Structure 1
Amino acid sequence: MEINRRLWLKNVGLGIAGIGMTNMNSFASPLPLVSENVFDNLEPQNNFITLRSNENPYGPSPLARKAFADNLTLSNRYNWEIATQLISNLAVKNNVKDENILLGAGSTEILDLVAKFAASQKGNYVIADPSYEYWTATLDSLGLKKIKVPLNADKKIDLQAMLKAVDKDTKLVYICNPNNPTGTICERNELVNFVNNVPPTAIVLIDEAYLEFTKQQSLSGLISTHPNIVVAKTFSKIYGLAGARIGYAIADTTLINNLANLQSNTNNSVSVLSKLAAIASLKDNKFVSDCSSQNEIARKYTIDELQKLNCECIPSNTNFIYFSLTNYKKDYFQKLKDNNIEGTRIYVEQGKWTRITVGTMQEMKQFIKALQ
């Protein structure tokens, strides 16, 4: 399949006008952000608190919600030109060309496409342990050998050890930055040096799902000099569109085309409404900033309170916290169950390390109260 369908659309004069300017104008003007107290007043639905999957508890931005509501009637059309507009917006945001962007149904689809492409030749892949690895089932099923590299003593990705694990048979190196489940981040200069030393025969997949919670610059600027880099991005986290399923890859044009060839309908596995919500979300910088600020406040509160309960916490650069239950004397998981709170699992048995998503301040107060 040709990825250049979007270029063809431009050449024949389609573009965003194809969906009607009335629909686009419906969210072109900024809406006032919901009231100042909205972050304190959000109530858990059905008295059940979900702190499992690192979602944004504040939902999509007001502009994204309006885009959904105002454009429902477009759902009967494919509207490939909307993908063209979103790709152009993402290219501008990331200072790359349109040809360097590939859309996917969440960054999970991007990870899956990279896995399929990397596994076209037998070999191995290198991943930190623990890290986000649900998607690696594709690599395993296609025959690539998994090489796990333990984190260092500070629960950070050990880039030097990762580099030593790379050999002539390595087809893919995965770096989740910030890392899930630990919330730690690689210093950018160290990460750039790491990328510079990975052989060009191996793809370096940088998963930046949580980078918007930090001040660190994306590695997308390296794609012009490193044709083996893929940067995976998502609207699922700080933009609050996890259920809308929209993400994208940034890479060298040749690599983008190789990934697109594995997509049955290039740039169109994402719904029309999700694309429009993403376009709107990119306009709402204030909402993103407010979500980040509220996350920092709730995260600090939770870490402080967990430490009072003798739970060692790893400093987090994300919207979740990695902490140890070794010195917590009660039944943590039973406490969650008794209080209708959904958390996650033990990631590392030594130290009984687990992770909790940072919800609203009210949710985190209920979480702490449940543990006390």
Structure 2
Amino acid sequence: MSNRRNWLKQTSLGLVGLGIIPLESFAMPTKQDILEPKEDSLIRLKSNENPYGPSALAKNAMSTSIKVSNRYNWELLEELIREIAQKHAVTDQNILLGAGSSEILNVVALYASKKTGNLIIADTTFDYWTITAENAGLKKITIPLTADKKHDLSAMLNAIDSDTRLIYICNPNNPTGTICANEALLHFIKEATKRTKVLVDEAYLDYTDQPSLANLVTENKNLIIAKTFSKIYGLAGSRIGYALAHSETIEEMNQLQFATNGSVSVVSASGALASLKDHKFVAETISLNTAARKYTIEQLEQLQIRCIPSHTNFVYFSLENYNKDFFEQLKKNRIIGTKIYEEKGKWSRITIGTMKEMQQFIKALE
């Protein structure tokens, strides 16, 4: 037990000075640390990644943790779970870790489909994970977004029947960038969870001022929150996310993982621990994203490309009035975009990169 405690001190990156990491590794980064990285031959504006991350603290932590990657991750994950629980004012028993929120969504899909029935989800939203639920026997029921591309919470509530096993809300929504009004969402959660389970995906909530619903899970057994380190913390490639839910719900979902919390590596957990402490990096990321997003929307609208107001690090826009071949323009300028999400209106999405990248993106369209 003593050896394990010593290993924890060496690898729990929140404990400055106790082990293998020198104190200077935890110096708070300056703004220069998150300025534009070295230029890539491609401009990647496809997957809503953070162009400024990981933070300097996270990179130092992950680099150092490689030295102890020959050891299993148990104690380090215990430390990370404690930090996450403290952040959201819940207990350790309300947390389940996964290799990105994608694994969490997959586990919830399996959890909800233990009984056959249906899944209610918006159209259009982040739905790639629902193939697991459908393969497990759930019928997917899609509810159209409102005219301004928001979740139609009333229609989703009315769609619940005795066979509904799960409702999915991505808030803010991907790919539209819209957000549910807080009071409306709280009312929806209160009513919907009386009848079924509700999964709220908060992957992009850190880009907003809206509070997390995490405080509700200690009492509400039918509410599950999915969170990720992929976006605001810039750890998309490190694959680390987590669920917040009632302790009994977490216990049931535990049984659907091969090894509870075991899919998160020492390196990823180390980066996540350091990221939780790097409030300056988060604030700088939000500031830079807000400026680049504002510029992008203004410039797109000057090109007669209608945009949906965004609460995220991406923008949803209509190519209906754009006369050039949008995707060919991107290809010629070595820019990676996404696709048409809705044929009616020719709606597409672009990730907000650095200001320089967004200037190049606009130039490519002109």
Is TM-score (shorter-chain normalized) higher than 0.5? yes
**Aligned counterpart, 1:273:** 267
**Aligned counterpart, 1:294:** 288
Cα distance between partner residues in 2 of 1:90 and 1:106: 15
Question: Does the CA contact (< 8 Å) of 2:73 and 2:262 recur in 1?
Answer: no
Q: Secondary structure at the match of 1:248?
A: strand
Q: Does 1:241 align with 2:238?
A: no
Cα distance between partner residues in 2 of 1:16 and 1:334: 57
Q: 1:45 aligns with which of 40, 49, 54?
A: 40
One-letter code aligned to 2:347:
W
**Aligned counterpart, 2:183:** 189
CA pair 105-27 structure 1, distance change in 2 beyond 3 A: farther
Q: RMSD across aligned C-alpha pairs, in angstroms?
A: 1.6
Cα distance between partner residues in 1 of 2:96 and 2:22: 24
Provide Cα deviations, 1:245-281, integer angstroms capped at 9, x if missing partner: 0000000001001111100111110101100110000
CA pair 106-37 structure 1, distance change in 2 beyond 3 A: closer
Q: Does 1:87 align with 2:81?
A: yes
Question: Does the CA contact (< 8 Å) of 1:50 and 1:341 recur in 2?
Answer: yes
One-letter code aligned to 1:156:
K
- When normalised by structure 1's length, the TM-score is 0.93
Residues 11-160 of structure 1 mapped to structure 2, 5 A cutoff: 17-21=6-10, 24=13, 25=16, 26=21, 30-36=26-32, 38-39=34-35, 41-46=36-41, 48-160=42-154
Cα distance between partner residues in 2 of 1:328 and 1:247: 38
Cα distance between partner residues in 2 of 1:131 and 1:49: 24
**Aligned counterpart, 1:219:** 213
Question: Does the CA contact (< 8 Å) of 2:193 and 2:223 recur in 1?
Answer: no
Count of paired positions: 359
Cα distance between partner residues in 2 of 1:68 and 1:85: 15
Q: Secondary structure at the match of 1:336?
A: helix
**Aligned counterpart, 1:200:** 194
Question: Does the CA contact (< 8 Å) of 1:149 and 1:161 recur in 2?
Answer: yes
* Deviation, structure 1 residue 341: 0.4
Q: Secondary structure at the match of 2:361?
A: helix
* Deviation, structure 1 residue 15: 7.0
Q: Secondary structure at the match of 1:76?
A: coil
One-letter code aligned to 1:196:
K
Q: Secondary structure at the match of 2:277?
A: coil
Cα distance between partner residues in 2 of 1:49 and 1:244: 20
Question: Does the CA contact (< 8 Å) of 1:19 and 1:79 recur in 2?
Answer: no
Q: Secondary structure at the match of 1:70?
A: helix
One-letter code aligned to 2:8:
I
* Deviation, structure 1 residue 223: 1.0
* Deviation, structure 1 residue 27: 7.1
Q: 1:320 aligns with which of 314, 325, 349?
A: 314
One-letter code aligned to 1:42:
P
Cα distance between partner residues in 2 of 1:117 and 1:14: 37
Q: Give the % identical residues.
A: 53
CA pair 74-152 structure 1, distance change in 2 beyond 3 A: same
Gaps of 5+ in 2: none
Question: Does the CA contact (< 8 Å) of 1:126 and 1:165 recur in 2?
Answer: yes
Q: Secondary structure at the match of 2:82?
A: helix
One-letter code aligned to 1:341:
I
Question: Does the CA contact (< 8 Å) of 2:225 and 2:243 recur in 1?
Answer: yes
Cα distance between partner residues in 2 of 1:164 and 1:22: 49
Q: 1:334 aligns with which of 323, 328, 332?
A: 328
CA pair 161-17 structure 1, distance change in 2 beyond 3 A: farther
One-letter code aligned to 1:144:
L
Cα distance between partner residues in 2 of 1:245 and 1:38: 21
* Deviation, structure 1 residue 200: 3.3
Q: Secondary structure at the match of 1:132?
A: coil
Gaps of 5+ in 1: 1-11
* Deviation, structure 1 residue 44: 3.1
Cα distance between partner residues in 1 of 2:206 and 2:27: 22
One-letter code aligned to 1:101:
I
Provide Cα deviations, 1:1-26, integer angstroms capped at 9, x if missing partner: xxxxxxxxxxx678764334487332
